Amino acid sequence: MRAGPHNALTDVPGVLLGHATRIGGGALTGTTAVLLPEGTVTAVDVRGGGPSTRDTLALDPREDRRAVAALVLTGGSSYGLGTAHGVLDWVARHRPWADPVVPTAALFDLGRGGDFTAHPRPEVGHEAASAAAGGPVAQGNVGAGTGALTAQMKGGLGTASATFPDGTTVAAVVGMNSHHPAVDPATGLPLGVAFGLPGEFPLVPVAPEVIAAGRERLRATFEARRFRAPLNTVIGVVATTAPLTPGQAHRLADAGHNGLSLAIRPSHGLADGDTIFAAATGSSGTAATALSAAPGVFARAIAHAVLAATSITTDWGELLAHRDLYPQP
């Protein structure tokens, strides 16, 4: 097993990804669009107690199969679901084979830029779809991860992939906005780095006094914020080249949640809306390999989201990132 060429969702051939980001003017939010090749089998698994989604019932394996051309991850909570209209407009113009269905999951980032009404709108979704491409994927404060937090620390968007000798590729992208921590309290490192591939996370445990100081800084910034309700969600996509049935695709999304549980403890709480989509293009590989690899890949994507995030200060308050709270020597 090794990472794909970009260690990103786009290592699954035919899968494209684009971001639209809004920072400033009271906004700290964005949208990420994932475009899929024709024939992709899709599914979803919703585990959180407070999800914000659109068109997820269309992916129920008990229903007629839909030709889905795009999946959307967005900020803005339920207001952000409107970005799907912009993506749908793009799909209608560029993917005539697709059904008019754009499954979407939103995370809560309202007010984090200072203006509670500054949320992504349809034109932001269209921008994200128009920007979708293969190749390297920007991580951190971009797209759906722009306004994300993780246990009051700055969250973000992360991605990872793995390829196997049998031809299977598994990849994930995640908008990391968890209520509960993704950092090992003993080492100061993201929990997901335990599943890293050789050389992927060249980190060392953080000194106890640095961990203690980081916790105090985080507590102080939390107390100073204007709005502190614990409204959170982790949203993401797991994609594979393996040929899967609709039922197996649902199990792939389920396996992604297993990775979420490995990298965030605890997870799937009442304040979370944790939602993971699955996409199987069917070009090569096996279902067994895809299902066994998905938890580790998703956990790695979460770790990358935490590590790629950068600190930012808005009218809402100071959002400190892992790299500043728990710096490497």
**The domain spanning residue 105 has which CATH number?**
3.60.70.12
Which pLDDT value is given to residue 229? 60
Would you say residue 184 lies in a domain? yes
Contact 232, 149 (CB under 8 A): yes
Q: What is the pLDDT of residues 10-55, one digit of tens each?
A: 999 999 999 999 999 999 999 999 999 999 999 999 998 889 999 9
Return the exposure string of 298-328: e unless at least 16 CB atoms fall within 10 Å of the residue's CB, then b: bbbbbbbbbbbbebbebebbbbbbbbebbee
Question: What is the DSSP track for 170-230?
Answer: EEEEEEE--SS--B-TTT-SBGGGGGPPTTT----PPPHHHHHHHHHHHHHHHHH-S----
Would you say residue 1 lies in a domain? no
How far is it, in rounded angstroms, from Cα 213 to Cα 327? 11
Q: Which range of residues forms the domain containing residue 264? A: 9-325
Tally Cβ neighbours within 10 Å of residue 95: 19
Which pLDDT value is given to residue 226? 61
Which pLDDT value is given to residue 223? 79
How far is it, in rounded angstroms, from Cα 304 to Cα 327? 15
Strand partners, 72: 33, 104
Structural domain tally of the chain? Answer: 1
Give pLDDT < 70 ranges for the chain.
226-231
Contact 221, 318 (CB under 8 A): yes
Would you say residue 313 lies in a domain? yes
Which pLDDT value is given to residue 123? 98
85's CB contacts (< 8 A; 6+ apart) are 122, 125
Report the side by side order of strands in the sheet with 27-35: 16-24, 27-35, 70-74, 104-106, 53-54
Q: Which two tokens stand for residue 94?
A: 């560029």
Would you say residue 249 lies in a domain? yes
How far is it, in rounded angstroms, from Cα 127 to Cα 5? 26
Tally Cβ neighbours within 10 Å of residue 107: 33
Which pLDDT value is given to residue 48? 82
